[in-house]
Amino acid sequence: MSAHKLTPASMSLARVPGVAIVLAILCATFGVMSPGFVTPANISNILSQSTILLLLALPMTLIIMTEGLDLSMGAVLTLASIALAITVVATGSATLGFLAALTVGFCFGLGNGVLIAALDIPPFITTLGTLGIAQGLSLLATDGQSVVGLPRSIEVIYSGSAAGIPLPVVIAALAYALTYALLYHTRFGTYVFALGGNREALKLAGISVRGMLIRVYVFGGLMAGFAALLMTARLNSAHPTAGIGMEFDAIAAIAVGGTSFERGNGWLFGTLLGVIAVGVLRNGLNLLAVPSSAQVTCIGAIVIIALFIDGLRGDR
Amino acid sequence: MASGSVVSEAPNGAARIAGVPLFELRGISKAFPGVKALDDVSFDIRSGEVHMLVGENGAGKSTLMKVLCGAYRADSGSFFYNGEPVTIDDPAAARQFGIAVIFQEFTLVPYLDIAQNIFLGREIPGRLPGFIDQRRIHSEAKRVLDLIGFDIDPHLPLHRLGVAQQQMVEIAKALSQDARILVMDEPTAALSDRETERLFAMIKRLKDSGVAIVYISHRLGEVFALGDRITVLRDGRKIASVLPAETTPDQLVTLMVGRPVDTTYTRASRPVPGKVALEVTNLSGPSGFSDINLTVRAGEIVGLCGLVGSGRSEVARAIFGADRITAGEIRLFGEPIGASPEESVRRGMALIPENRKTQGLALNRSVSDNIILAGLRKLFPSGLYVPRRAIKAARAIIDKLRIATPTPRRAVATLSGGNQQKVVIGKWLNADARFFIFDEPTRGIDVGAKAEIFRLLDHLVHDGAAVLMISSEQIEIVHICDRAYVMRGGHIAGELAHHELTEANIVRLGIHQ
Amino acid sequence: MSSTPNIAARSRFAPSRDAMQALYRLLAVALLCIALTALSDVFFTTNNILNVLRQTALLFLMASGLTLVILTAGLDLSVGANIALSACLAASVIKATGSPLLGIATGIGCGAAIGFANGILVTALRIPSFIATYGMMWMLTGITYYYMAGDTIHGFPPEFRQLGSGYLLGVPMPVYVMVLFLLIGWFFAQRTIWGQQIYAIGANPVAARLSGVPVERRLVLVYAVSGAMAGLASLIILARINSAQGDIGEELTLPAIAAVLVGGTSLFGGSGSVAGTLIGALFLTLVLNGMNLLQIHSSWQPLVTGVIILLAVWIDNRTRRSDA
């Protein structure tokens, strides 16, 4: 692990412009092509829509830094949203609903973490399996139908605002601050860097690698539970296919944002910019009436190009 | 070992250093399957002294160090701290006694900064639970870095540092643990002259403050410049403990070599060298070697020696086409080569790699599958694979090399080390290779199997094949090879013809004087 | 070498571990059959058995190519999306030209091209296979939906439909295709030097490369074959359901992976077989068919498949560890 062939300063300098340039080009293009793009309402709309994605992309960044992956995140988000909606409809309590969503997230995060860390099942296959499980549970709980009849109090979480700032943006900002503090200022965050960068060093320092890995996935599950709150509020309902594939947008945002998939290097601010870039892309393509299927293809291509560039950087 | 015990212990020398040792190991033995790594070794460390530990590759230095820091458990022997018996059975116990080790392989995390690396696992808690007091770990790190005279901003991420700077961070990390006993494994291997000087100044300061230092080195210059005492290991035994003033570099080399001949095989006759099989000119590569020139003729066994890390295996891999080269030319039987292992294999080259388990064998596949892998094209030119024929070919090799396996269908993982190595060699016999590179062919196998492998080498060259053999066992090179190249720091330091081929000459060329 | 250790070793190690594992799997399939016969009146009827065989054939065709990929310690998550695009393109071609042969060529060619692209991503661009094929999966899904724009293509010539819903001597056509490709797959993996090289790559890619195996070319081949098999499977589906839609292969990736893993091919490469995958496909089809017969809601299917995948990998992990 000692031979880091990276030349000094090659990483961060080569990367900072990358995602910023992508974002600038996207904004300029859509600004010129679509008159409705640069309006306060649309910008506010982009930011609000990006919040759910950000809540998934933040923990996914940490997971990818440990050389892991969580393909189940979109399905867990969906299931948590359904749990929230069903609980709220049944009890009328938004708090209980929120707790239900967090519980679902926690259980799946813990399950993923234990399967990966304790049973040594590779992350991509573990989360592929739990993706199936979460999807199945979603279908079972709803019989394929939407859960509707939520009180206004839920909807307000997405549509409301505090001091002129949309509430989801406030929530996302808090989530970003929390993750930032966790990653850069706590022991947990330090060990996340070590999990991907040099696991042996962590072991020699007397830290439990398994325990740390489990915590990373639990964090992912909990954030998916949080995101479920926003998603349910946005749709004012829960639907068994609502969050399917969300993890893919998150992976795209992270790849564009410059987090490495192989060397334990993450950049949280890059993920933030990446999320906004994906949001701008989706919004701009929507304004230009490009169908969402073509948007998915675009994003797929972006992931592969970003990973290719990441691989090139690793070779130097 | 009678010759060794004459000079061992240097009783008057030891007596001159007064007081109870800070830490003492007595009668330590440690065996690994097939190898006795440490045999009844006693070793002590005193406050304020630099105790040099020298010996050839495989003499047992690393094992002794790992026993000291609790990474290995000794099979027998005892430990004393300030004269009191203690036990060390894990790294935590060793840390309790203030033992800190600077390994050759870094235990650093690339994307954390210097301070975070220094305090990994020992972070200073901040006000909130789970948080780190970033300001304090950075100021503390700065203090430790200043202590070793390393002027660098502790906020710099580690991946921006060069190897030498990383080495300094590794040293700071060990020191920040308030080490009373500091073990360094070739700390100057990656350092420039200026950095080395600074490190030495730091070692002197540490020594003056009462820290005991165990220093492993291959560089005789620093052994004499720094050492208060020198202990020589050979074949897992302590050969001597001497004072620098009472010995010379030449005497030290004599103590280090002189390993008993542990092979039962002697080459009765040596074939007359034929045409040039391999010719390497001005070869340089990104993996750390440059300007390599060597030739191997048919019927010759040519040694490639030097210390571990001198670039021997890298040169071998480059010749085989497995690693990129930046300059130079490789010719096999007169024709240029070097594009890929695939081409090398097709043209009759064979590589018996350094690590047979990770590079040589598909362990969960059968003996037969492994033996035929390199020769598939030759055995089945039509591309159709016939199991019966494969088994037959494998049986022929198994009989020829006397590989001890009940059936060719047995998974190779279940075989002993010597038999696994024979499977790797058999793979190339089956592929009709004419030029062989053996990289540490006898590592981790028993004496009997070693002799068989030497017999095989002899047969190969008598049949007109050419062999380039890498070995850390100088005695093997002297015993088996017709001539040898000695590498040092990525260059060929010299070539030894048959009459010059002695252990002392190899060590002299290979070691930094 | 005397004969004594020979006999001792043989009695201790024979029958081989692989044979025992295959036996356990067949036993599981047999138990499943017995249980289903007891639980459902419909299970042991000619109609249902033929139905099970037809479904097994479909799953096997997808999973057989995937088996080769997993043998090299890779993964192809794009098989389901590949099926969708290949089916839709083949359907358009058949509709436009009226020629089933051109349609078949399109389906298989499209599948193979996608697989080839996966192979390039994994080898030349050095992207880990699970993430490369995952990106590919979403790209293909997008392209398919865009291309179809919500339409359905249906009504194919009867001679093409024979491929999926026809019978020969009372046995469904897909079963013949399955047997044909079982033989081809077995021959390729066990009786060609490429097959040997693929196993070696999965067991130890470094040793394979240092033994002169052209690792990258073989990997591209394996992904292309996996893609081509997905293309073939898409044609069978097309012929069976007589219509093509954008979501046609969506729910097939997980069962295909499950079939390979249940069939005893290790996710870590180097061990397993195409024949094992047939057992895996049969097992999975029986489970899904049984759930159907017992009127368990189809929503359980992804859940059960997910659990089966996790169990299969866990068991493989344990056997590998006890070996070591």
For B192-205, what is the HEC assignment? CHHHHHHHHHHHHH
The pLDDT, as a whole number, for residue A25 is 84
Cβ of A185 within 8 Å of Cβ of B123? The answer is: no
**For the domain that residue B20 is a member of, what is the CATH number?**
3.40.50.300
B166 contacts B108 by C-beta, under 8 angstroms: yes
Query: Which alpha helices (H) appear in B179-334, and where do they start and end?
Result: 193-208, 220-226, 249-256, 312-320
Residues on chain C touching B385 (C-beta within 8 angstroms): 190-193, 195-196
Query: Is C208 within 8 Å of B384 when comparing Cβ atoms?
Result: no
Query: What pLDDT sits at residue C1?
Result: 36
Q: Which residues of A touch C75 (CB under 8 A)?
A: 124-125
pLDDT score at B448? 74
Please determine, for residue C12, whether its predicted confidence score (pLDDT) is greater than 60.
no
Q: Do A197 and B111 touch (CB under 8 A)?
A: yes
Yes or no, beta carbons of B107 and A198 under 8 Å apart: yes
Residue A209, min C-alpha distance to chain B (Å): 12
Domain map (residue ranges) of chain A? 17-25+36-315
Structural domain boundaries, residue B32: 1-98+217-259
Distance from C-alpha of B86 to C-alpha of B97, rounded to nearest angstrom? 10
| Residue B108 near chain A (CB below 8 Å) | yes
The helix (run of H) or strand (run of E) holding residue B468 is: strand B466-470
CB nearest to C135's CB, from A69, A120, A300: A300
- A135 to C302: CB separation less than 8 angstroms, yes or no: yes
Q: Residues B416-420: what's their mean pLDDT?
A: 85
What are the domain boundaries of chain C? 49-249
DSSP result, B8-64: TTTHHHHHHS-S--SEEEEEEEEEETTEEEEEEEEEEE-TT-EEEEE--TTSSHHHH
3-state class (DSSP) for residue C27 = helix
Q: pLDDT tier at C20 (50, 70, 90 boundaries)?
A: confident
Residue C249: what pLDDT? Answer: 80
The token pair at A233 is: 């509020």
Question: Which pLDDT value is given to residue C87?
Answer: 95
Nearest chain A Cα distance for residue C146, angstroms: 5
**Which DSSP helix (H) or strand (E) runs through A217?**
helix A209-235
| Residue C45 one-letter amino acid | T
- Give pLDDT, residue A43: 86
Percentage of chain C exceeding pLDDT 90: 61
Residue-wise pLDDT for A255-286, tens only, equals: 888 888 777 788 899 899 999 999 998 888 88
**Rounded average pLDDT over B148-177:** 85
Q: Is there a domain that residue B75 lies in?
A: yes
pLDDT digits (tens, 9 = 90+) for B426-458: 999 999 999 999 998 887 777 677 888 888 999
| Position B284 pLDDT exceeds 90 | yes
* pLDDT band with cut points at 50, 70 and 90 for residue C122: very high
With beta carbons under 8 A apart, name residues in chain A contacting C307: 129, 132-133
In a domain, B35, yes or no: yes
Q: What is the DSSP letter of B357?
A: I
Interface chains of chain B (3 or more CB pairs under 8 Å): A, C
C267–A125: do the CB atoms touch at under 8 Å? Answer: yes
What pLDDT was estimated at residue C297?
84
pLDDT tens over chain A, length 316 residues: 333 333 333 444 444 457 777 888 888 888 888 888 888 888 888 888 899 999 999 999 999 999 899 999 999 999 999 999 999 999 988 899 999 999 999 999 999 999 999 988 999 999 999 999 999 999 989 988 888 888 888 888 888 888 888 889 999 999 999 999 999 999 999 999 999 888 888 887 778 899 999 999 999 999 999 999 999 999 888 998 888 889 999 999 998 888 887 777 888 998 999 999 999 988 888 888 888 888 888 888 888 888 787 777 654 3
For residue A208, list chain B residues with Cβ-Cβ distance below 8 A.
none
Q: Is A246 on the interface with C (CB under 8 A)?
A: no
Counted residue by residue, chain B has a size of 513
Which helix (DSSP H) or strand (DSSP E) does residue B496 occupy? Answer: strand B491-496
Of C134, C136, C314, the CB nearest to A119: C314
In Å, how far is C228's CA from the nearest CA of chain A?
21
* Smallest CA–CA distance from C216 into chain B, residue: B342
Q: Is the pLDDT of residue B1 over 60?
A: no
pLDDT of residue B50: 92
CATH of the domain spanning A17-25+36-315 = 1.10.3470
- For strands C153-154 and B23-32, give the pairing: unpaired
pLDDT at C65: 95
Question: B77 — alpha (psi -120 to 50), left (phi > 0) or beta?
Answer: left
Q: Does A9 touch chain B (CB under 8 A)?
A: yes
Count structural domains, chain B.
1
Q: Is residue B142 part of a domain?
A: no
pTM for this predicted structure: 0.85
pLDDT at res. B332: 94
Which of B111, B124, B136, B155 to probe by mutation at the A interface, max A CB count within 10 Å? B111
Give B138→chain A minimum CA distance, Å. Answer: 13
Closest residue to C5, CB basis, from B384, B386, B406: B406
Residue C224 DSSP SS3: helix
Subunits in contact with chain C (3 or more CB pairs closer than 8 Å): A, B
The string of pLDDT tens digits covering residues C221-278 is 999 999 999 999 999 999 999 889 888 887 889 999 999 999 999 998 888 999 999 9
Helices C274-293, C300-323: crossing angle, 10 deg rounding: 140
Express each pLDDT in C34-81 by its tens digit: 999 998 888 888 889 999 999 999 999 999 999 999 999 999 999 999
Would you say B22 and B46 are in contact if contact means Cβ atoms under 8 Å apart?
A: yes
Residue reference for tokens 């860390």: A117
Q: What is the pLDDT of residue C9?
A: 39
Question: What confidence score (pLDDT) does residue B264 get?
Answer: 60
Q: Which comes out higher in pLDDT, residue B64 or C12? A: B64
CA distance A304 to A312: 12
Interface of C with B (CB under 8 A): 1, 5-6, 8-10, 13, 16, 190-197, 199-200, 203-204, 206-214, 270-271, 323-324
Distances (CA, A) of B467 to B273, B291, B302, B350, B459: 11, 21, 6, 9, 11
> Quick check: C299 and A136 CB within 8 A?
yes
Region C159-163: mean pLDDT is 89
E-assigned strand segments in chain A: 161-162, 165-166
Q: Is residue B371, in this structure, part of any structural domain at all?
A: no
- Inform me whether the C-beta atom of residue A130 falls under 8 Å from chain C C-beta atoms: yes
Mutate which of C190, C209, C210 to disrupt the B interface (most B C-beta within 10 Å)?
C210
Chain C residues lying within 8 Å of B322, measured CB to CB: 209-210
More confident residue, B191 or C189: C189
**Comparison of pLDDT for B234 and C12, the residue scoring more:** B234
Q: pLDDT-based confidence at B13, cuts 50/70/90?
A: very low
Q: What beta strand segments (E) does B71-211 contain? A: 76-81, 84-86, 99-102, 181-185
Taking an 8 Å cut-off on Cβ atoms, the answer to whether B120 and A190 are in contact is: yes
Interchain contact A96–B (C-beta under 8 A): no
Indicate whether B469 belongs to any domain.
Answer: no
Rounded to the nearest angstrom, the minimum Cα separation between A29 and chain C is 22
Q: Which of A1, A2, A204 should be substituted to probe chain B, the one whose Cβ sees the most B Cβ atoms within 10 Å? A: A2
Closest CA in chain B for residue C204: B362
User: Which candidate, B52, B45, B42, B49, places its Cα nearest to that of B81?
Assistant: B45
| φ and ψ of A71, to 5 deg | -80, -10
Q: Which contiguous run of DSSP H or E holds residue C17?
A: helix C17-39
Residue B34 pLDDT: 60
CB contacts under 8 A, A 147-206 vs B, are 181, 185-188, 190, 193-194, 196-198, 200-202, 204-206
For residue B465, give how far its alpha carbon lies from the nearest alpha carbon of chain C (Å).
18
Hey, what amino acid is at B163? V
Residues of B in contact with C13 (CB under 8 A): 406, 410
Instruction: Please report, as a single letter, which amino acid is at residue A46.
Output: I
Asked if the C-beta of A105 comes within 8 angstroms of chain B's C-beta atoms, the answer is no
Using the beta-carbon criterion (under 8 Å), do B407 and C209 form an inter-chain contact? no
Q: Is B106 on the interface with A (CB under 8 A)?
A: yes
pLDDT exceeds 50 at position B479:
yes
Residue B466 counted as domain residue: no
Q: Does residue B81 carry a pLDDT above 50?
A: yes
At residue B469, what are phi and psi to the nearest 5 degrees?
A: -120, 125
Within 8 A of C141 by CB-CB distance, chain A residues are 293, 296
Residue among A136, A295, A307 minimizing CB distance to C302: A136
DSSP annotation of B131 reads B
